[in-house]
A and B are shown apart, each in its own frame.
Chain A
Amino acid sequence: MYPPRFRYEAPRSIEEAIALLEEAGSEAKVLAGGQSLVPLLKLRFASPDLLVDINGLPGLDYHRVDADGTIRVGALCRHADLEHSALLKARQPTMAAAAPLVADPSVRNRGTLVGSLCHADPQGDWAAVVTALGGSVVALGPNGRRTIPMTEFVTGPFQNVLAYNEIAVEAVIPAPKGTSVGGYLKLERRVGDFATAGVAVALELSGATVSRAGLALTGVGSATINATDAAQSLVGKPLSAEAIAGAAELAGQAAKPRSDHRGTAAYKRHIIQTFVERILTRVQGEMA
Chain B
Amino acid sequence: MTSLFEEIHEDAPADVPTRRVRITVNGEKRTVEVEPRLLLAHMLRQGLKLTGTHTGCDTTNCGACTVLFDGTPIKSCTMLAVQADGHEVTTVEGLAGPSELHPVQEGFKDEHGLQCGFCTPGMMLAAKALLDRNPDPTEEEVRWALSGNLCRCTGYQNIVKSVLWAAQKLRSQQAS
Where the two chains meet, the residues of A that have a C-beta atom closer than 8 Å to any C-beta of B are 1-8, 10, 31, 34-35, 38-39, 41-43, 51, 53, 55, 80, 103-107, 109-110, 191-192
Known A5-B16, A105-B147: A34·B80 in contact at CB below 8 Å? yes
B152 to chain A, nearest CB (A): 12
Say whether A192 contacts B148, CB under 8 Å. Answer: yes
- Select A192's contact among B80, B82, B147, beta carbons within 8 Å: B147
Q: How far is the CA of A143 from the CA of B73 in the complex (A)?
A: 38
B10-46, CB < 8 A from A: 10, 16-17, 19, 35-39, 42
Where the two chains meet, the residues of B that have a C-beta atom closer than 8 Å to any C-beta of A are 8, 10, 16-17, 19, 35-39, 42, 58-61, 63, 66, 69, 72-75, 77-80, 82-83, 85, 126, 144-149
By Cβ-Cβ distance, the 9 closest A-B pairs, closest first, are A104-B148, A8-B36, A191-B147, A106-B148, A3-B37, A106-B73, A38-B78, A105-B148, A109-B72
Say whether A105 contacts B60, CB under 8 Å. Answer: no
Say whether B78 contacts A39, CB under 8 Å. Answer: yes
Say whether B58 contacts A1, CB under 8 Å. Answer: yes
Say whether B61 contacts A8, CB under 8 Å. Answer: no
Known A2-B10, A34-B80: A7·B36 in contact at CB below 8 Å? yes
Known A4-B37, A8-B36, A192-B148: A38·B79 in contact at CB below 8 Å? yes
Say whether A34 contacts B35, CB under 8 Å. Answer: no
- Select B60's contact among A31, A39, A51, beta carbons within 8 Å: A39
Q: How far is the CA of A3 from the CA of B83 in the complex (A)?
A: 14
Q: How far is the CA of A51 from the CA of B82 in the complex (A)?
A: 11
For A103, the closest partner residue in chain B by CB is B148
A154 to chain B, nearest CB (A): 22
**Contact partners of A109 in chain B: CB under 8 A:** 69, 72-74
- Select B63's contact among A31, A51, A106, beta carbons within 8 Å: A106
**Contact partners of A35 in chain B: CB under 8 A:** 60, 78
Q: How far is the CA of A7 from the CA of B83 in the complex (A)?
A: 13
For A39, the closest partner residue in chain B by CB is B60
Q: How far is the CA of A80 from the CA of B74 in the complex (A)?
A: 12
Known A104-B147, A105-B144: A6·B36 in contact at CB below 8 Å? yes
Q: List 20 A-B contacts (CB under 8 A).
A: A1-B58, A2-B8, A2-B37, A2-B42, A3-B37, A3-B39, A5-B37, A6-B37, A35-B60, A35-B78, A38-B78, A39-B60, A105-B145, A106-B63, A109-B69, A109-B72, A109-B74, A110-B78, A191-B148, A192-B148
Say whether B75 contacts A106, CB under 8 Å. Answer: yes
Q: How far is the CA of A219 from the CA of B54 in the complex (A)?
A: 31
In this complex, which of B10, B66, B73 has the most chain A Cβ atoms within 10 angstroms of its Cβ? B73
Say whether B75 contacts A5, CB under 8 Å. Answer: no
Known A1-B58, A38-B78: A104·B63 in contact at CB below 8 Å? yes
**Contact partners of A80 in chain B: CB under 8 A:** 72
Say whether A106 contacts B37, CB under 8 Å. Answer: no
For B17, the closest partner residue in chain A by CB is A7
**Contact partners of B16 in chain A: CB under 8 A:** 5
Q: How far is the CA of A192 from the CA of B148 in the complex (A)?
A: 7
Given contacts A2-B42, A5-B37, 4 further A-B contacts (CB under 8 A): A8-B37, A80-B72, A105-B126, A106-B66
Q: How far is the CA of A5 from the CA of B18 in the complex (A)?
A: 11
B33 to chain A, nearest CB (A): 13
**Contact partners of B77 in chain A: CB under 8 A:** 42
Known A2-B39, A3-B37: A107·B60 in contact at CB below 8 Å? yes
Known A39-B60, A39-B78, A42-B58: A107·B36 in contact at CB below 8 Å? no
Q: How far is the CA of A257 from the CA of B85 in the complex (A)?
A: 43
Known A5-B16, A192-B61: A105·B37 in contact at CB below 8 Å? no
Known A39-B60, A42-B58, A55-B83: A5·B147 in contact at CB below 8 Å? no
Q: How far is the CA of A152 from the CA of B174 in the complex (A)?
A: 54
**Contact partners of A53 in chain B: CB under 8 A:** 80, 82-83
B140 to chain A, nearest CB (A): 12
Say whether B79 contacts A34, CB under 8 Å. Answer: yes
**Contact partners of A192 in chain B: CB under 8 A:** 60-61, 147-148
